[in-house]
Amino acid sequence: MNAAVKIRGVCPDRFSAVRDAFVANFTEGKELGARFSAAVEGEVVVDLMAGRADRAPGRDFGPDTLTPVFSTTKAVAALMIGRLVGQGRLAYGQRVAEVWPEFAQAGKQDITVEQCLSHQDGLAAFTRPMDPALWFDWDAITARIAAMAPLWPPGTASGYHPVIFGYVAGEIVRRVDGRTLGTALRHDVAQPLGLDLWIGLPDAEHGRVAQMQRPPALPDLGPLTELKRAAFLEPWSSPAGRDTATWRRAEIPSANGHATAEALARLAAVLACDGRLDGRQVLEPGIAAELSRQRVLGQDLVLPFALAWGAGVLRNDPVMIYGPGRHAVGHSGWGGSCLMADPERRLSAAYVMNRQSPALIGDERSRRLIEALYANL
């Protein structure tokens, strides 16, 4: 181990390859601050952290450091939808308009919950200009979504929804449950299980958040299309025009979750262990498998990859970015964060960091750590 890299946390000798991979990410200059956690049957077996929480020296990246995880949040939203399905309050094959009648406008009357969660509903982006601050007005955005027409025939292809996904999932939860998705997450899952995981971060927690270092370049989207521009590159493609505190405070279940790697790895264990964590049935038996079941496979219209989607999670096969398990699922976030779950090995893991890379999915740092984890199993 390089003495210059101060590693904190837990890593038994049998997982030495994981520790070595974690150190290598730092010694090769790929990290500022980072944490990697892994669990077997929901029990954390590896929990490593190092580096600093701010761009300037002074604050360690420690056990209480919260990290913005961007689109990794989508897997959390998917799990909250799965809870409603398991409770019999919603069905994946149900038409969204049955719980959100306004959604039926502009030819969307037959779109199902699972089509929305697997990016097949044609609602990847807003193509008409708008004030990017409008994203902070939940009612305005959901009304805009309800009024828009699909950008391709629903059910014929997937096209990744960077931000709109969270508003659709969140509005479905609100219409069925009566609470926001972030509130339901906090009261029903995060607090009872002791998970340091938030969608909608209270002001009192803002001081724990790591300062992000943006990637040095834009991601490679492949040949640009109007759809890709609308999803990622237009001034209104993502929330803007408000201060950082407003961003953290907002509930955007596709993009602004804040969490520790330990919390994400333990939550992902729910998908690896047929819905159970700490003796609790977080998802009803069989729902984790149904959530993870493939809904679509093919070339995505927004991301430059052939992808297989479950109901809100990315299936590892064919991209194979979450280790060698072909039945593993996961999700990645802007800059490199990810979580993954492998039900065959009852294994889950998560990686968070504050130096972002341009990778859209499959950041080299997390891949190295996950591959080392499997090598030590």
How would you write the pLDDT of the chain (377 residues) with one tens digit per residue?
344 789 999 999 999 999 999 999 999 999 999 999 999 999 999 999 999 999 999 999 999 999 999 999 999 999 999 999 999 999 999 999 999 999 999 999 999 999 999 999 999 999 999 999 999 999 999 999 999 999 999 999 999 999 999 999 999 999 999 999 999 999 999 999 999 999 999 999 999 999 999 999 989 999 999 999 999 999 999 999 999 999 999 999 999 999 999 999 999 999 999 999 999 999 999 999 999 999 999 999 999 999 999 999 999 999 999 999 999 999 999 999 999 999 999 999 999 999 999 999 999 999 999 999 999 99
CB atoms within 10 A of CB 326: 12
* The model scores a pTM over 0.85: yes
**Nearest residue to 370 via CA among 343, 310, 312, 330:** 330
**Nearest residue to 291 via CA among 79, 76, 42, 41:** 79
d(CA 360, CA 16): 28
Strand partners, 38: 46, 349
Could you tell me if 235 and 148 are in contact, meaning their C-beta atoms sit under 8 angstroms apart? no
* 50: three-class secondary structure by DSSP: strand
> Which element (helix H / strand E) includes 228?
helix 226-228
Structural domains of the chain ordered from first start? 8-376 (3.40.710.10)
Give the DSSP letter string of 313-366.
SEEHHHH--S-S-TT-EEEE-TTS-EEEEETTTTEEEEEEESB--S-SS--HHH
**Nearest residue to 98 via CA among 117, 113, 88, 118:** 113
**N residues, the chain:** 377
